[in-house]
Structure 1
């Protein structure tokens, strides 16, 4: 069985895989340009997902399983994959630690006026009148209650926050005081201090946050988006900030990435921009490949209980 990597992995990880699965044939490439020549013989493909196209899927005559070493699936050619009945799994859940830490640290930095303090430091300005806020005892709504959302809520509980989750099912989950469906979300927004979006990119989540949502939020609320930029349009968010409907927006993701150099978000005092890095961690590959290894054992044994099996019709 040929197991093809278009995802670049370290020599340490390559050696570990070859030692652990010595009976399998591994083809390690640094990108899809290199890997494309081996696609026709590959039974398993390990990729970051963004390098696949319908044409490439068409050339993968023996392909039965795609392991995506990321959680985002929005650029996958699912129609072509579905037609060939290819199994897809991903690395969902590995981002929960870095992204939850990012969420809490970003909210704390805004609440403790870090932006202004850095500016004062640069200007050698000793100003003790900067107004500080506490996050302890506040209320937080998390849109998206998967592994990342649950970890955000767990950390928020360390600050004695009241936490609310929003999901398609509204299913009750640990670390949330209440979980609701999207239709029920609006009634909670007037009480929220923080809104954190970790929504994936799907047709259901496009433009999830609307003008109405921002209008009912308290004007001191902080909005953080680290899921996908498509969850809220730049125009809606810009208008909400300009109208002082919210106090601050923390944007790790935006509609168009990279954010254009001339976009007004860059120069707005109450907007914090980071370049889609909330999930970055030195442990990323190790965690992703641990899921792959477990699934490879299952695959070799002709099992069916794969970790993070993707519903191709929904894209997640």
Structure 2
């Protein structure tokens, strides 16, 4: 094992009981780390010049004073737009994030949406609330999963786990990804993003797991919906700003797709007067697909692993391509 080198790790404000606890645990478990907990921006400004690494959101004014900073741990898997500003992108420091901690929870949420549409729950749950017993004809209202096709846009950790679960139901999985070179056995086809428009007409379920980046902002628009089957369902659990909601509403109203399920939205919270709320073929959850046990412990483990790696000069987990925000 390589020897550890002492370094200063700055916890940027705001602080919570959780981050203070993380600071104590890191001090106790990572050799050579000097933890500085900044409760205010003034304290952070005083400490940043001596910091080798930091956790949290780093505004440009602090970055300008960061004479030694070589590593920044982002506080989220996909921080909001503005986290990666030009000065941070051009700076030589490495950014890491919390991706991968939601894979099991979010993939289960996607499966819930797929199964709900496949078995008509978007129809039957409202009927239940109306106390209405109404059966469709025997050969209608369901999607036979064996023989159906799902297109996953974004085959990262969440997309890969979702593909594995879908394949277990007999669904043929197509995928689009900008980076991934290898195709898992349970994915029938893996394509580059340029192939998306040729794949959309083949899918019964189109599932977006992509982050919000300069390339994906608003990329799912009316033109993409028009390429989908009229019997197909659209699911977005990635980031809301990847999909134009006005275009989604128009596509649903025109019958261009059969339905949509969303956990993320262009505007959050979604205004009460938004037309999506009243649409019978829409399922919505309030940006909570990642909810589940063990998330904070998973976050801490990434920080702890990266602190140990940083001290020993080893590669860090979850390194971000800053120019592309993930």
Offset at 1:14?
4.5
Equivalent residue for 1:19, pick from 1, 17, 28: 28
Structure 2 residue 51 is the aligned partner of structure 1 residue 42: yes
Structure 2 residue 113 is the aligned partner of structure 1 residue 101: no
Counterpart secondary structure, 2:269: coil
1:256–1:85 CA distance, 2 compared to 1 (3 A): same
Does the Cα contact within 8 Å between 1:172 and 1:178 map onto a contact in 2?
Answer: no
Equivalent residue for 1:310, pick from 316, 320, 323: 320
CA distance in 2, matches of 1:302, 1:286: 24
The answer to which of 213-222 and 51-60 deviates more is 51-60
CA distance in 1, matches of 2:289, 2:42: 28
Offset at 1:143?
0.3
Question: Which residue of structure 2 aligns with residue 55 of structure 1?
Answer: 61
Offset at 1:268?
1.4
Cα deviation, 1:75-96, whole Å, max 9, x if unaligned, reads: 3133222444222111221121
TM-score of the pair, normalised by structure 1: 0.87
Structure 2 residue 219 is the aligned partner of structure 1 residue 213: no
- Structure number with higher relative contact order (C-alpha < 8 Å, ≥ 6 residues apart): 2
CA distance in 1, matches of 2:163, 2:27: 39
Does the Cα contact within 8 Å between 2:209 and 2:237 map onto a contact in 1?
Answer: yes
Structure 2 residue 241 is the aligned partner of structure 1 residue 234: no
Does the Cα contact within 8 Å between 2:69 and 2:93 map onto a contact in 1?
Answer: yes
Structure 2 residue 82 is the aligned partner of structure 1 residue 75: yes
Question: Which residue of structure 2 aligns with residue 225 of structure 1?
Answer: 236
CA distance in 1, matches of 2:291, 2:46: 30
CA distance in 1, matches of 2:40, 2:117: 38
Does the Cα contact within 8 Å between 1:169 and 1:180 map onto a contact in 2?
Answer: no
Counterpart secondary structure, 2:52: strand
* Unaligned ranges ≥5, structure 2: 1-6
Structure 2 residue 301 is the aligned partner of structure 1 residue 294: no
Offset at 1:154?
0.4
Counterpart secondary structure, 1:272: strand
CA distance in 1, matches of 2:96, 2:221: 32
Question: Which residue of structure 2 aligns with residue 167 of structure 1?
Answer: 177
Cα deviation, 1:126-184, whole Å, max 9, x if unaligned, reads: 44449652452121000011111111100101101100001225744102100112222
Structure 2 residue 287 is the aligned partner of structure 1 residue 276: yes
The answer to which of 292-301 and 7-16 deviates more is 7-16
Offset at 1:243?
0.7
Structure 2 residue 150 is the aligned partner of structure 1 residue 144: no
Counterpart secondary structure, 1:163: strand
* Unaligned ranges ≥5, structure 1: none
Cα deviation, 1:64-117, whole Å, max 9, x if unaligned, reads: 211123221443133222444222111221121111111001221233333443
CA distance in 2, matches of 1:278, 1:284: 12
The answer to which of 249-258 and 205-214 deviates more is 205-214
Offset at 1:222?
0.7
TM-score of the pair, normalised by structure 2: 0.85
1:52–1:170 CA distance, 2 compared to 1 (3 A): closer
Offset at 1:26?
2.1
The answer to which of 166-175 and 292-301 deviates more is 166-175
1:77–1:313 CA distance, 2 compared to 1 (3 A): closer
CA distance in 1, matches of 2:175, 2:253: 27
